[in-house]
């Protein structure tokens, strides 16, 4: 329920477009899961009901990947921002999908490492 679910038009439209040239195609609802378990439960529910699932990061994609062309539920993963593990020995880091490049670089400050723009991204 609220504040973790919205069917408000403005919220749905915000989540139905990215930086691409494609027209807005809003989902039927937006949810903000806060744990892997919640994502699993939501995905299982959508699967059982045959409802499309659309992941959403920051909306900066260039391919129209967040457009809910068949409606469905948008999973806004921005509240999943934990940096779980950092290994300086093998230059790896385990993060939740809501971790931004800026947050990661702030976490890495002082280690001699940084995460450059353009290496990976999500819609």
Please list the residues that pair with 71 across neighbouring strands: 69
The per-residue pLDDT for 59 is: 82
pTM: 0.82
Residues 87 and 41 in one domain: no
Are 77 and 55 a contacting pair, CB within 8 Å? Answer: yes
Spatial separation of the C-alpha atoms in residues 121 and 76, rounded to whole Å: 15
Question: Does the residue 21 lie in any domain?
Answer: yes
Residues 72 and 89 in one domain: no
Question: Does the residue 121 lie in any domain?
Answer: no
- As a dihedral over the C-alpha atoms of residue 23, residue 29, residue 30, residue 35, rounded to 10 degrees, the angle is -140
Question: Does the residue 10 lie in any domain?
Answer: yes
Residues 39 and 12 in one domain: yes
Distances (CA, A) of 79 to 42, 48, 112: 15, 25, 27
Domain that holds residue 21: 2-76
Give tens-digit pLDDT for 34-80: 999 999 999 999 999 999 999 998 888 888 889 999 999 999 999 99
Give tens-digit pLDDT for 5-45: 999 999 999 999 989 999 999 999 999 999 999 999 999 99
Residues 46 and 101 in one domain: no
Residues 68 and 85 in one domain: no
């Amino acid at each position: 329920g609220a504040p973790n679910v919205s069917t408000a038009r403005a919220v749905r439209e915000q989540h139905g477009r990215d930086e691409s040239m494609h027209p807005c195609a809003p989902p039927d609802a937006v949810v903000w899961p806060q744990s892997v378990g919640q994502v699993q439960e939501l995905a299982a529910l959508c699967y059982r009901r045959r409802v499309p699932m659309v992941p959403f990061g920051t909306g900066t994609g260039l391919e129209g990947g967040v457009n809910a062309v068949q409606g469905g539920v948008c999973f806004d993963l921005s509240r999943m921002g934990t940096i779980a593990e950092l290994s300086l020995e093998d230059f790896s880091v385990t993060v939740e999908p809501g971790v931004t490049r800026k947050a990661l670089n702030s976490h890495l400050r002082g280690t001699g490492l940084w995460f450059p723009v353009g290496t990976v991204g999500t819609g």
